């Protein structure tokens, strides 16, 4: 049975989907689930292809201003191998300045998950803008943002395609050598913010055993490195009790899946 409903905001008539029985609803959900699982597999395959993209060397020694003074691009890695830099528009001339950053960039900032989970996967996330540090520190405090945020002082934004529009660049550090490995902007940035989506654009990926990664890439057992954001230890070493719990959960899930196929 199809029908109509009032759109609460506009008062216009909204032509809603049909209302059906629970059984019919469940059948429709399972039908859509087939396509959703296909999309998940396609997304995993795309991430695997991304991990095989060629790299390009970064030869310029870019400089930034951080809360404690001048830092280079190498410093932004904070000792880790992977670096994600989001160019956020917060500077004179941006609508909202100086009380607010760009509305779109601010929505991205509002969605950023706790960076401890990225750090546990050898990955650092940094925001970069042209606003002075005093304004950035004030903005972060007012908006409740905690991710590292530096001031661009040279041609970094122009050189990496983010001088006139937002975008996310990914870098890998091999010793003191830096390589650009990936770039996404426009609607691609809509997906950023969550731990998994960030890891999926890095050259090492989620670093879990199920992933299709090139030979020799670091991988650990799935789920086992997960932790509360205030409880990670060096190298995200698995907690013994969590390993037992997650193993039991996986076993129960596999048993339920097997029953459903019988």
The per-residue pLDDT for range 232-259, each reduced to its tens digit, is 998 888 989 999 999 998 888 888 877 7
Can you tell me which residue has the tokens 């041609």? Answer: 155
Establish if 101 belongs to a structural domain.
Answer: yes
Taking the mean position of all CA atoms in its chain, how far away is CA 29? 28
Q: Which two tokens stand for residue 250?
A: 């996986």
Is 230 part of any domain?
A: no
Note whether residue 220 is domain-resident: no
Q: Cα(110)–Cα(151) distance, rounded to whole angstroms?
A: 19
Q: What is d(CA 201, CA 157) in angstroms, rounded to the nearest whole number?
A: 19
Predicted confidence at residue 234, as pLDDT, reads: 87
Question: Domain count of the chain?
Answer: 1
Structural domain includes residue 145: yes
Is 224 a domain residue?
Answer: no
Q: Which domain CATH number covers 94? A: 3.40.30.10
Q: Is residue 107 part of a domain?
A: yes
In a domain, 34, yes or no: no
Q: What is the pTM of this model?
A: 0.93
pLDDT in tens, 24-66: 999 999 999 999 999 999 999 999 999 999 999 999 999 999 9
Residue 1, pLDDT score: 54
- Predicted confidence at residue 251, as pLDDT, reads 87
Give the dihedral sign, CA 16/19/24/29.
positive
Show the domain range for 112: 56-200
Q: Give the pLDDT score at 12.
A: 81
- Percent of the chain scored above 70 by pLDDT? 95
The answer to whether residue 236 sits within a structural domain is no
Instruction: State the pLDDT at residue 7.
Output: 60
pLDDT band at 8 (very low <50, low <70, confident <90, very high): low
Q: Is the pLDDT of residue 11 over 80?
A: no
């Amino acid at each position: 049975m199809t029908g109509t409903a009032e759109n609460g905001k506009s008062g216009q008539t909204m032509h809603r989907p049909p209302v059906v029985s629970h059984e019919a609803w469940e059948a429709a959900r399972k039908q859509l689930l087939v396509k959703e699982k296909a999309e998940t597999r396609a997304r995993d395959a795309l991430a695997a292809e991304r991990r095989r993209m060629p790299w390009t060397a970064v030869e310029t020694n870019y400089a930034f201003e951080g809360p404690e003074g001048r830092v280079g691009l190498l410093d932004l890695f904070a000792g880790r191998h992977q670096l994600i830099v989001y160019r956020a528009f917060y500077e004179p001339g941006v609508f909202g300045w100086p009380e607010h950053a760009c509305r779109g960039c601010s929505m991205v900032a509002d969605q950023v998950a706790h960076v401890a989970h990225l750090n546990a996967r050898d990955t650092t996330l940094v925001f970069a803008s042209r606003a002075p540090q005093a304004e950035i520190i004030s903005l972060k405090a007012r908006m409740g943002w905690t991710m590292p945020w530096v001031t661009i002082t040279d041609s970094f934004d122009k050189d990496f395609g983010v001088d006139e529009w937002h975008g996310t660049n990914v870098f890998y550090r091999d010793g003191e050598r830096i390589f650009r490995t990936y770039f996404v902007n426009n609607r691609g940035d809509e997906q950023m913010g969550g731990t998994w989506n960030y890891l999926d654009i890095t050259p090492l990926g989620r670093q879990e055993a199920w992933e299709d990664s090139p030979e020799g890439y670091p991988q650990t057992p799935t789920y086992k490195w997960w932790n509360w954001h205030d409880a990670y230890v060096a190298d995200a070493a698995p907690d013994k009790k969590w390993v037992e719990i997650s193993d039991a959960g996986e076993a129960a899930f596999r048993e339920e899946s097997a029953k459903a196929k019988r």
